[in-house]
Amino acid sequence: MSTSVAITRCNKDIEKSLKEAILTKGFTDLQSPIVIKPNICTNNDRTGFANTKVDIVEAIIRLLLEKQSNPVIRIAESDSGAKYADEVFEKFGYKDLEQRY
């Protein structure tokens, strides 16, 4: 298994920026289930930078759906001292994302 990192400048079009980064290496050899692990650190993100925004995860899902017709996609997060996963999924829009897809 190889690991790679792609860095690109992010502009206001999140999906375009993600596509640029992913096209550097691409989604290769992905098998279902595909697990997306956003960074959700806290239930009270006062800075706006401690948690991955749900629109970024949704853009990744749309890009995955372009490559595979019916993938199984799971978004994984765990409880911690600063939050309960089910509460932050509700608060930051991940439950709504699940309903859309």
**pLDDT top residue among 43 and 28:** 43
- Phi/psi of residue 7, nearest 5 degrees: -120, 130
Cβ(68)–Cβ(33) below 8 Å: no
User: Which pLDDT band holds residue 2 (cuts at 50, 70, 90)?
Assistant: low
**Tens digit of each residue's pLDDT (9 = 90 or more) over 49-99:** 788 999 999 999 998 888 888 889 999 999 998 899 999 999 999 999 999
For the chain, give the percent of residues with pLDDT over 90.
35
**Tens digit of each residue's pLDDT (9 = 90 or more) over 31-62:** 888 889 999 988 888 887 788 999 999 999 99
Model pTM score: 0.79
Token pair in block for residue 101:
């897809």
Cβ(79)–Cβ(40) below 8 Å: no
- Bridge partners (DSSP) listed for residue 51: 40
Q: Other C-beta atoms within 10 Å of 60: how many?
A: 21
Give domain limits for the chain. 29-100
